[in-house]
Structure formats: C-alpha cells, structure tokens
Amino acid sequence: RRRRKINVENAAEFMYILPIVVRAFEMEITPANRIVAQIGETVMLTCNTTGCASPSFSWRIQTDNPLGGTVSNHGTYSTLTMSPVSVENAHDYLCTVFCGIEKKEKSVKVELYSFPSDPVIEISTSLVAGEQATIICKIPDVYPSDHLEVLLKKEEHILLEKNFFEDDSTNTETKIVTYSFNPTTEDIGKDIICVAKLLIADMDFEPKERVTSQKLNANFGPKNTIITASPSISAMEGDSLKLTCVTESNPPPQIVWRRQVADKSVQYLVENSVLSIPHAHFTDSGLYICEVINLVTNKTEKATVDIVIQAPPKNTTLSVFPSNAVKQGESVAFSCTSTGVPAVQITLRKKVGDVITTLETQGGKYTIGRVQLKDAGTYECVSSNELGEESQHIVLDVKVPPQNITVLVHPSENVKEGENVTITCSTYSNPPSQMVLKKVHPEREIILSSVNGTFILYNVTKNDTGRYLLDVFNEVGNNIKVIEIAVVGRVEKTDQMMAVIIAFSCVTAIAIPVVAILIYVSRKAKINGSYSLVKALRLKV
C-alpha cells in the first residue's frame, strides 16, 4: 500500500490539549463538631474524604479509652457505629486520615442524655377520707439526673417541688418523689399531676418536659352483695335463667361464680357479674356462690342462692348383678336409680303374664338370696314425680338343670323278641333339656336320639338286651338314668314251624330282594339308633 505522509508541522495546527483538574486532598466528619443522642439509641459517625484514591482511616478517643463501637471502612469513607450508645460513649471522637504521607484529622463530640418516658404515679394505699395516704412519682431511667426538676401538684395547687441538682449519678437511674397527705372527701375526683423537667443548657433534644396525671379516688367495698334470679330461683327445665350479682365497690370488683353440687364439691363457672343459663337442665340445680373481690381494698364478700330446676324423672336405670341370666340357687341383686326434681319415687315391680307384684325395696335396691325358677320374669323399675313418669325393665332368666326326671318303659323292661319298646322321659329344666339314650356295649357305643323325649326300639331281639343309659342334660347340668332291658326268645309251635318252612321255600325266589332290604334297614338303624323289621317289610310292599 501506499503510505500517506503527514506533515507534523501541519498536524500541530489541528491538535487540542484538554486541561487536567487535580482536586486537593480533603476530609470531613458527620455529624460535624457535636452530636446529642439518647442513651439506648444508635449513633453513627462518618469520616469522608475527597482527592485521595486510597485513604487510610483510624478512629480514637482523645482520652485513649476503648472506642465502644464498630469501625467499617468503605474505600473513601469510614464509619464508627455505637449501638446501643451508652454513658461510656460520651467522649470526643477523633478521625485521622492518611493519603500517602499527607495527614488530616477532625473530631466530633458525643453528648448523651436519657429521658425516655413519662413519670409514673402510684398511690400507696386506698384513699379513705381522713386516713393518711402516700403519693409516689417515679421518673424512669434519667441521665444526667443533676439536671432534673420534679413538681407534684393537685389540680393547680403545688404539693411538692424538688430538684436533684446535687445528685452525682454517673448512669441512668429512676428517681422517686414521695408525698404524704390526708385526703378529704373534696379530693375525690381531683387530678394529681407529676411534672418532670430535664433542662440541659446547649443540648438540643425533645421533650425536655414530661407530665403524668391521675385522679384521686376513694376505694371501698365490696359491701351489700346480693344475687337476683330471673325469672325466679325455681325454674322449669328448658327455661332460660339469669343470675345477677349486685354489689357496691370501688374500683369495680372481680366477680367469680361457683356452684356447690350435691357432694359438696365446688365448680368454677365464670368471671362475670351476670351468669346466664340459656336452657336450664335439672343438673343445673345447686347452691350458686357469687364471690366479689376488690383487689385494691383487698376485701372479699360472698352471696349465695339455692337454685332448683324442676324436671320429670330422667336417666332411669335398672341393673341386675351378677347378670340377668343366673343359675338356680345364686344370689341376685337389683338396683333401680333415677333423677328428677321434685324428688322421684322409685317402685320395683315383677310382671309374669298379667300378674304384677310390687316388691319392697330399700333405696331402689332388691335382693333375692337364692333364686328359684319361680323368680324368673320381667322386672320393671318405675320412677315418678309430680311432673311425669319414666320406667325401665329387664328380664330375669333363671337356669335350672334337669330335675324330677321320670322314665317310663312300655310295655315293660322285660319284653319278648319282635315287640316294640317305647321309652318315654319327662323332666323339669330351663333351658329345655336334650336327651340321649346310650346302650352300654364293650366294643362300641350305640347312641339313640329322642323325639320329644321318646325313644322306640323296634322289633327287639336278644341282642337288644342290656343296660341303657339315659343322659338328660342342658347348659346348666345333666342327670343320668339307668334302664335295664331284657329280651326273651319267642316259643314257636311245631305246626307253625312247618308253615314257616313251607313259607320259606315259597319265597326263595324273593330271598335276594329281602336280603337287600334288610341290609338297607340295618345300615339305617346304625345311623338312627333304632331298627324296625315292620318298617322294612313296608318298604318292600
């Protein structure tokens, strides 16, 4: 490429030189010279520089005490934070800045005070006309207290004027002014005023004056405490009931309602002058106590009223011990309870069919020492008063084991082969008994069940001879009867025997079916515990 030559002399004609401004190294401290702060607040002192890219900062107290704060450097400025500020921070603080070898420093004075809240007035005792009382005015956390002035007034009349100019406290303190006097009835309702002033010359803060007032009041009572009941002290169940505790007391008392119930225990209810029961229940009956407490006079007074809520019988219960199903001979206890106002009358009755028997009880309790089957039946507890009646019932079941067992054998215990034997058993028990007839056998046990207490042995043979055990039982117990049955052979005549032989040869053709029928009947007898040749022949026909 072809390079273009520039004539330097000509280029100088077009050049413009910018002026460079160099700022001088300076520093400032804020707040400047002096700061007034209240003890407990946060105070921040800032040392700022200009004209120095990398200044170096240091803080110190001219008395060489600890700083009592935290230093933070941020390039061209540095901060000293005191939080919370305390009496120990009341000093001149010096900030020194180096920029290279150049040094600058400035100081600021920290002045502190404490006047955080209004005075507090306290009256040492209840004000009673003619009796000495003491008024106390407290000025909390004051500093410096040697600048404090206190004025105590009743309305515009000055009662006491006091200053603490000679006080040498070096920290915050609560200053107290007391004044004793004998109040009169004319003093009631007047204002007691406490004025506190913290006057420090050349120190700018607000407020420099704080004021508190309190009215004088005569405290008395409680006295003449009574309870009013609306609509009355005797109400019907479901009605609304309001009890009001009325008393004379100043200041207004604390009122506590309690109730004393039947067992003399006391229940806490509510803290209010009015006790409301929107829907009264008979269980709300009892002695109501209004306790009035005057926390100032430290006196207590009580008033009572007996409230009766009328209601028909309720919660009627009938229980039986040990249970409503017992064994004969056991003891049974009935208990009937109920509630109601007016007081209920309890009657225990026994019902068997249409027969009703009233039982004699003691406090609703009735005991049967040794219960019998005749005691079984329905027992009813009836509770009644002027407003109504309520009842509960329970069925008593008396369980009896088999008794008075009677066994009849027909035609007799000694029978001939081919006859039917009917065994009939009757007994007295609850619940009804079951019966099982067992034949005693050395190898196997033959069991026959009854049909309504009756057993039938059909067409008995000599094999049916033996001892039979009749077991009569229910869930309560059992009883066993022994029956001896003897079966003797039947005597046959000669001509009859010939007829049997002829008959037998005539029926040879049907022998096989008859054998089959006999096998069937035999198996059935093993299942049912009985057998019958007559029935077998009927099946064939």
C-alpha span between 147 and 451 (Å, rounded): 122
pTM over 0.95: no
- Looking at the DSSP assignment, which residues form a beta bridge with residue 84? none
Both 124 and 209 in a single domain? yes
Domain end residue (candidates: 113, 136, 162) = 113
Please say whether the beta carbons of 430 and 399 come within 8 A: yes
Both 98 and 128 in a single domain? no
**Does residue 188 lie in a domain region?**
yes
Both 302 and 325 in a single domain? no
Domain end residue (candidates: 258, 276, 307) = 307
Please say whether the beta carbons of 169 and 151 come within 8 A: no
- Looking at the DSSP assignment, which residues form a beta bridge with residue 45? 80
Both 417 and 462 in a single domain? yes
Helix (H) or strand (E) holding 534: helix 533-540
**Does residue 433 lie in a domain region?**
yes
Both 340 and 356 in a single domain? yes
Q: What domain range includes position 449?
A: 411-485
Q: What single string gives the DSSP state of each residue in 411-477?
A: S-SEEETT--EEEEEEEEEESPPEEEEEE--SS--EEEE-BTTEEEE-S--GGG-EEEEEEEE-SS-
Q: What is the pLDDT of residues 106-157, one digit of tens each?
A: 999 999 999 999 999 998 666 765 678 889 999 999 999 999 999 999 988 9
**Does residue 101 lie in a domain region?**
yes
**Does residue 278 lie in a domain region?**
yes
Both 70 and 31 in a single domain? yes
Q: Output the domain CATH number for residue 335.
A: 2.60.40.10
**Does residue 502 lie in a domain region?**
no
**Does residue 9 lie in a domain region?**
no
**Does residue 514 lie in a domain region?**
no
Domain end residue (candidates: 160, 187, 216) = 216
CA distances (Å), origin 183, targets 26, 189, 194, 294: 69, 11, 17, 20
For the chain, 541 residues long, give each residue's pLDDT as a single digit of tens.
444 444 545 544 545 555 555 678 999 999 988 899 999 999 999 999 999 989 999 999 877 778 889 999 998 999 999 999 999 888 999 999 999 889 999 999 999 999 999 999 998 666 765 678 889 999 999 999 999 999 999 988 999 999 998 888 889 999 999 999 888 767 878 899 999 999 888 888 888 899 999 988 777 778 899 999 998 998 888 899 999 999 988 788 999 999 887 677 777 788 889 999 999 988 888 899 999 998 877 889 999 999 998 889 989 999 999 999 999 999 999 999 998 888 899 999 999 888 889 999 998 999 999 999 899 999 999 999 998 999 999 999 999 999 889 999 999 999 999 999 999 999 989 999 999 999 888 777 778 877 788 999 999 999 889 999 999 999 999 999 999 999 998 755 444 433 333 333 323 333 333 333 333 333 333 333 333 333 332 322 2
C-alpha span between 68 and 45 (Å, rounded): 12
Query: What is the share, in percent, of the chain residues with pLDDT greater than 90?
Result: 52
Both 424 and 389 in a single domain? no
Q: What is the pLDDT of residues 67-104, one digit of tens each?
A: 889 999 998 999 999 999 999 888 999 999 999 889 99
Strand segments, DSSP code E, in 253-412 are 254-260, 266-270, 274-277, 286-294, 299-321, 325-327, 332-341, 345-352, 355-359, 365-368, 377-385, 388-410
Both 315 and 302 in a single domain? no
**Does residue 515 lie in a domain region?**
no
- How many domains are there within the chain? 5
C-alpha span between 395 and 379 (Å, rounded): 6
- 226: helix, coil or strand? strand
Around Cβ 280, how many Cβ atoms within 10 Å? 19
